[in-house]
Amino acid sequence: MPELADRPEAWPVVDSSLRYDGGWVVKVREDRIRRPGHPEEEPFTRLVVEHPGAAIILAVDEQDRVLCLWQYRHAVARTLVQLPAGLCDVDGEDAAEVARRELVEEAGLEADRWTHLASTYSSPGFTAEQGHYFLAEGLRDVGRGDFRLEHEEAEMTVGWVPFAELHEAVVAGRLADAHLALAVLLAAARRH
């Protein structure tokens, strides 16, 4: 049996072309690839959604409450309970810095303690999008500065939910946002 660990590997790409670039968040690339060591086989096609990744923040206050956002998401036609999060779309900015910036922009908070919970691929069958999950504690209000919420963010509701209630809602299946569920379950696992 192979080692129980992910490992880097790149299969031969015969050709690659950009199929879509709408200028906002994602691009779609078409790659024609071959299995390694099988040059006689016809290449096969895979569409790849290029995504910069995101930092997701589970912000927990001294009363063991989690900062949650109720935000409309058009792709699923629902208002979801979510966590503060932001794209890793600034060159040279690592995920931890994105998390710090997004917590200020979306919630007007800074944290004294940061714990990296995990970094995971959302759906590696067609995208390299990676979510970087952080626990933020020792929170203090600093305001958003000159950052202005737009579009869906301008309509979101912000509130504090006891961690135990949020965990129960995730386990019961009442909350469908994968980033929220994973962050809550990771934090709960660390607590035990």
Give the start-to-end residue ranges of the domains of the chain. 13-50, 54-191
Active-site annotation holds for 153: yes
Residue that is written with structure tokens 């966590």 in the block:
83
What does each of the 192 residues of the chain score in pLDDT, given as a tens digit? 989 899 999 999 999 999 999 887 889 999 999 999 999 999 999 999 999 999 999 999 999 999 999 998 988 999 999 999 999 988 889 999 999 999 998 889 999 999 999 999 999 998 989 999 999 999 999 976 666 666 666 567 889 999 999 999 999 999 999 999 999 999 999 988
Q: Is there a contact between 28 and 50 (Cβ–Cβ < 8 Å)?
A: yes
Q: Exactly one of 97, 110, 153, 165 is catalytic; which is it?
A: 153
Q: What is the CATH number of domain 54-191?
A: 3.90.79.10
Neighbours of 1 (CB within 10 A): 3
Q: How far apart are CA 185 and CA 182, in angstroms?
A: 5
Packed helices 178-191 and 163-171: angle between N→C axes, nearest 10 degrees: 120
Q: What is the DSSP letter of 62?
A: T
- Per the confidence metrics, is the pTM higher than 0.75? yes
Which among 109, 114, 130 is positioned nearest to 179, based on CA atoms?
130
Q: Is there a contact between 133 and 120 (Cβ–Cβ < 8 Å)?
A: yes
CA-based end-to-end distance of the chain? 30
